[in-house]
Amino acid sequence: MRLYPLEALAAAVLTAVLTIPILGIDIVVDGPRITLTGEALPVLIAMAAVFVVRLFQEPLKTAIGWVRMDRLLPSPERMTAYRPMILTGLIVMALIWPFTVSRGAVDIATLALIYVMLGLGLNIVVGFAGLLDLGYVAFYAVGAYSYALLAQYFGLSFWTCLPVCVALAALTGCLLGFPVLRLRGDYLAIVTLGFGEIIRLLLNNLDQLTGGPDGIGNIPKPTLFGLEFARRPSQEGGVTFHDFFGLNYSGGDTVIFLFLLALALVLFTLFVINRLIRMPLGRAWEALREDEIACRSLGLNPTVIKLSAFTLGASFAGFAGAFFAARQGFINPESFTFIESAVVLAIVVLGGMGSQLGVILAAIALTVLPEVARQFAEYRMLIFGLVMVLMMIWRPQGLLPAARPRLKLPQ
Sites of contact with another protein (CB under 8 A): 272, 275-276, 278-281, 283-284, 286-287, 290-291, 293-302, 406-409, 411
Residue 408 CB, nearest distance to another protein (Å)? 5
Q: Which is nearer to another protein, 100 or 411 (CB)?
A: 411
Closer of 300 and 369 to another protein (Cβ): 300
Q: What are phi and psi of 25, to 5 degrees?
A: -115, 130
DSSP 284-332: HHHHHHH-HHHHHHTT--HHHHHHHHHHHHHHHHHHHHHHHHHHHS-B-
Distance CA 166, CA 154 (A): 18
| Minimum distance from residue 161 beta carbon to another protein (Å) | 22
**Euclidean distance between the first and the last CA atom of the chain, given in angstroms as a whole number:** 56
In the bound state with another protein, the residue whose beta carbon lies nearer, of 243 and 286, is 286
For another protein, which is the closer residue by CB, 131 or 255? 131
CA separation for the pair 127, 129 (Å, rounded): 6
Give CA–CA dist 41/47, Å, rounded. 10
Task: Report the C-alpha gap between 60 and 50 in whole angstroms.
Answer: 13
Least distance between another protein and beta carbon 78 (Å)? 18
Beta-ladder partners of 25: 38
Which candidate, 272, 311, 356, 389, places its Cα nearest to that of 136?
311
Cα gap 60→66, rounded to integer Å: 10
What is the rounded (10 degree) CA torsion for 54, 59, 61, 63? -130
Shortest distance, position 302 Cβ to another protein, whole Å: 7
The whole-angstrom separation of Cα 340 and Cα 135 is 9
Apex 338 CA angle, 333 and 342, nearest 5: 135
Q: How far apart are CB 265 and another protein at their closest, in Å?
A: 16
Minimum distance between the CB of residue 312 and another protein, rounded to whole angstroms?
A: 8
Q: Which is nearer to another protein, 144 or 162 (CB)?
A: 162
* DSSP-derived 3-state class of residue 224: strand
Question: Which residue's CB is nearer to another protein, number 221 or number 283?
Answer: 283
Q: How far is the CB of 156 from another protein (least distance, A)?
A: 25
Give the nearest distance from C-beta 272 to another protein in angstroms: 6
- Residue 169 near residue 147, CB atoms below 8 Å: no
Which residue's CB is nearer to another protein, number 44 or number 272? Answer: 272
**161 neighbors 326 (Cβ within 8 angstroms):** no
Geometric angle at alpha carbon 243, from 237 and 248, rounded to 5°: 145
What is the smallest separation between the CB atom of 293 and another protein, expressed in angstroms? 6
